């Protein structure tokens, strides 16, 4: 296949792997941190390795809130060593949750953290969450002492939507608008697969953007009712929430086109398509929406992104 049709190599390998392993899909279901809590211990830090564009801290904050845990979060940087050491001792003593982000930026300080962890006698409710991008200079002993978790955005619109819906506490009155927002978020993230034909560069659209957009959407719908000012939502999405990450004028035009195409009366009230063959479910039931997501194809079509069909072959050729 690689010799004769390199543009179909990825598809052929995927089909072969599915048949050989007897699987329905290659990607595992999205991991939720709430499923992980029961496996954690006070004496074992949790090391979460994430990639660019993924931010598990939002999910962790929600988990701490629902678990009624006192939670503290620190984004590591130069000059914070003393503060972090003090917070770590206090959290271990009082049984709090402490999250240290961006460990890869402080690799030279990690041996100090390792020594302090070894000297602690923590409260049974204490949990230490360490977040980092993969880094070659992590102390081996610290890595071995941690419960290690890889936090990755699921590939494909279907799995992206399912991950979003698993994290949301959906309100029935805005459930259809939330479906559109989840679709939009999945599209702008998965379009990164086709760089540079999709986006010119990698933009780190993440869960914080999604939560900010969801807050704006709920507030606007609550205030406007049936006469929603979609231009307001489109403008905030383009100029602040998502557009704030985009620094290319052509990519900004694409983002603006998505916002105008999805967030309008035609899509939400008149059953206009989100993509060829994809519509917002009529039901306001959260479970019905999840069933609709499960019926989506496992492999994305370029038409979902408004891209030509041959862009998929170009991507497979260089993958």
pLDDT above 80: residue 164: yes
286-306 pLDDT, tens digit each? 888 888 888 888 888 888 999
CA angle, corner 182, sides to 280 and 312, nearest 5?
Answer: 90
| Res 52: pLDDT | 66
Is the model more confident about 78 or about 29? 78
| CATH superfamily of the 33-151 domain | P-loop containing nucleotide triphosphate hydrolases (3.40.50.300)
Count the Cβ atoms, other than its own, within 10 Å of residue 206: 20
**Is the pLDDT reported for residue 191 higher than 60?**
yes
For 6-30, write each residue's pLDDT tens digit.
Answer: 666 767 777 788 788 887 666 666 6
Question: Is omega for the bond preceding 184 within 30 degrees of 0, making it cis?
Answer: no
- Please state, in angstroms and rounded to a whole number, the distance separating the CA atoms of residues 104 and 77: 10
Residues 129-162 have pLDDT tens digits of 999 888 888 888 888 999 998 887 778 899 889 8
pLDDT, mean over the chain: 85
pLDDT-derived band at 80 (thresholds 50, 70, 90) equals: confident
Residues in CB range of 252: below 8 A, 6 or more apart? 238, 243, 246
Each residue of 37-59: pLDDT tens digit? 888 999 999 999 887 667 788 88
**pLDDT, position 310:** 78
Q: Regarding the domain with residue range 157-318, which homologous superfamily does it belong to in the CATH classification? A: Region D6 of dynein motor (1.10.8.720)
The percent of residues above 90 in pLDDT, for the chain, comes to 30
Confidence (pLDDT) at 30: 67
Q: Given this model, what pLDDT does residue 25 score?
A: 67
> Given this model, what pLDDT does residue 28 score?
66
Domain with CATH 3.40.50.300 in the chain: 33-151
Percent of the chain with pLDDT over 70: 90
CATH 1.10.8.720 location in the chain: 157-318
Where residue 95 falls (left for φ over 0; alpha for ψ -120 to 50; beta otherwise) is: left
- 14 versus 65: which is more confidently predicted? 65
Q: Look at residue 188 in the predicted model and tell me its pLDDT.
A: 94
Lowest-confidence pick of 34-38, 146-150, 235-239: 34-38
Reported pTM:
0.77
* 3-state secondary structure at position 72: strand
Q: Is 170 a residue whose pLDDT tops 70?
A: no
The whole-number pLDDT of residue 221 equals 84
Q: Is 209 exposed, middle or buried (0-12, 13-18, 19+ CB in 10 A)?
A: buried
Would you say residue 111 has pLDDT above 60? yes
pLDDT of residue 197 exceeding 90: no
pLDDT at 238 > cutoff 80: yes
Residue located via tokens 């260089």? 318
Q: Is the pLDDT of residue 173 over 80?
A: no
CB atoms within 10 A of CB 117: 20
Q: Is residue 315 over pLDDT 80? A: no
Strand partners, 150: 49
* 267-286: pLDDT as tens digits: 877 778 888 888 888 887 88
pLDDT at 256: 95
Mean pLDDT of 116-137: 90
pLDDT at position 235: 92
């Amino acid at each position: 296949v690689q010799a004769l049709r390199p543009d179909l190599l990825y598809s052929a390998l995927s089909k072969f792997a599915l048949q050989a392993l007897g699987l329905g899909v290659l990607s595992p279901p999205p991991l939720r941190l709430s499923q992980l809590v029961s496996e954690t211990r006070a004496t074992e830090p949790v090391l979460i390795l994430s990639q660019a564009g993924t931010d598990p801290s939002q999910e962790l904050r929600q988990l701490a809130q629902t678990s009624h845990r006192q939670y503290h979060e620190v984004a590591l940087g130069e000059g914070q060593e003393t503060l972090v050491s003090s917070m770590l001792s206090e959290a271990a003593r009082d049984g709090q949750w402490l999250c240290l982000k961006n460990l890869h930026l402080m690799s030279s300080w990690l041996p100090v953290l390792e020594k302090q962890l070894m000297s602690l006698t923590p409260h049974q409710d204490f949990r230490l969450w360490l977040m980092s991008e993969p880094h070659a200079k992590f102390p081996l002993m610290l890595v071995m002492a941690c419960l290690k978790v890889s936090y990755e955005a699921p590939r494909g619109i279907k799995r992206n939507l399912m991950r979003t819906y698993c994290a949301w506490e959906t309100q029935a009155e805005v459930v259809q608008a939330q479906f559109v927002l989840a679709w939009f978020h999945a599209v702008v993230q998965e379009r990164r697969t086709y760089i540079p034909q999709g986006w010119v560069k990698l933009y780190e659209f993440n869960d914080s953007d999604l939560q900010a957009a969801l807050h704006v959407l709920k507030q606007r719908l609550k205030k406007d009712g049936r006469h929603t000012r979609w231009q307001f939502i489109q403008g905030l999405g383009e100029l602040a929430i998502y557009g704030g990450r985009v620094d290319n004028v052509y990519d900004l035009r694409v983002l603006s086109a998505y916002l105008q195409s999805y967030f309008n009366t035609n899509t939400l009230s008149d059953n206009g398509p989100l993509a060829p063959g994809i519509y917002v479910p009529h039901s306001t039931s959260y479970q019905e929406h999840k069933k609709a997501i499960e019926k989506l194809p496992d492999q994305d079509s370029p038409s979902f992104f408004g891209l030509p069909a041959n862009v998929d072959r170009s991507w497979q050729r260089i993958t």
